[in-house]
Structure 1
Amino acid sequence: MAEHAQEFLDFGAGVLALVSLTASVLWGLAAADRMLLRSAHRLLAQGVHRGLAVAGLGFLALHIWVKVAEGHVGAAAAAVPFTDRARPLLVGFGTLAGYVFVTVAVTGAVRGAFASGGRSRAWRALHMCAYPAWGAALLHGLHSGRPAGGWVTAAYALCVAGVAAALVVRLRGARDGGGVNA
């Protein structure tokens, strides 16, 4: 039983991190929608968005800890992007994405500090960095370790489809003057 749990953590924690962060992206997009959701619903969506982001970061921390503890990656390579000897680019994408996700979470938590002095654009720009980080995490997840199992590939495909569909809806709403903002 413990061996199965360890094996799952070895390969599942990263998948759970990406799926949780994807769900956070989707709920963040929903929370920003002013055409479909009323204010109270947007507040609920923001709460779900934040909760999923925290869960995603927790799974990410677990993923990193397990990979370092089992010797799949060195602590230095986990901390410094693009320094892994075996897979510098792919592990580096994961490391860099992790830093961006943490930065987005921290700036999201202190969003109020960006509310004055015309700094809301800076907050939006930082928050939008989650999209390229998510793409880097997806590449990392699919190609940096063992070949992805069918369920992992399916989960990642659903993540891509969900984010693509939500972005299309969001961009159409912005183009049509629907008042959608970040």
Structure 2
Amino acid sequence: MPDRTALIEEQIPGLRRFACALLRGNREAADDLVQDTLERALSHWNLRRNRGNLRGWLYTILYNRFLSDQHRVRRRGPHDALTEETELPGIDGGQHSVLEHRDLLRAFAALPEEQRAVLLLVGVEDLSYQEAARVLGVPIGTVMSRLSRGRERLRRSIHGELDEKSRHCSAALQRVK
């Protein structure tokens, strides 16, 4: 059986993605959150069920640490590193693809934290509804409704932005004629 360090190391890329998305692209804060999660997991390894779901356990620790940090920030006021505008990653392709990617990231970042977390766990990290419910500490029905609302809100946000852009372009073209 692999040692605990090897088991945990396999989960780090997914934990980083989840933390980065929760923290709206702030990679430094995400890395700190993952490090705190790993430290807590290693120090509480003996409390973990031997055959329990390691992945779910780690995501639960990370999400609970995130919530604790958010509560602390609300009590004390925002820290500069958490409120500064984050740089959006670039992608290959034409300018149109870059703009669509940017719009998607902004729409995703604008989602309520509960919807963002469910979309990340189910859509990106491929957790089942039941695993996501355990990680978030909510009933499975809540996961399903947050997922549905989050997807719909993303859809409306993206299509709304695209519709507004096309109306603006159309109006500009009519003025040119």
Note whether the superposition's TM-score is higher than 0.5: no
> Which one scores higher on RCO, CA 8 angstroms, separation ≥ 6?
1
Q: What TM-score, normalized by structure 2, do the two folds share?
A: 0.31
Point out the structure with max Rg over C-alpha.
Answer: 2
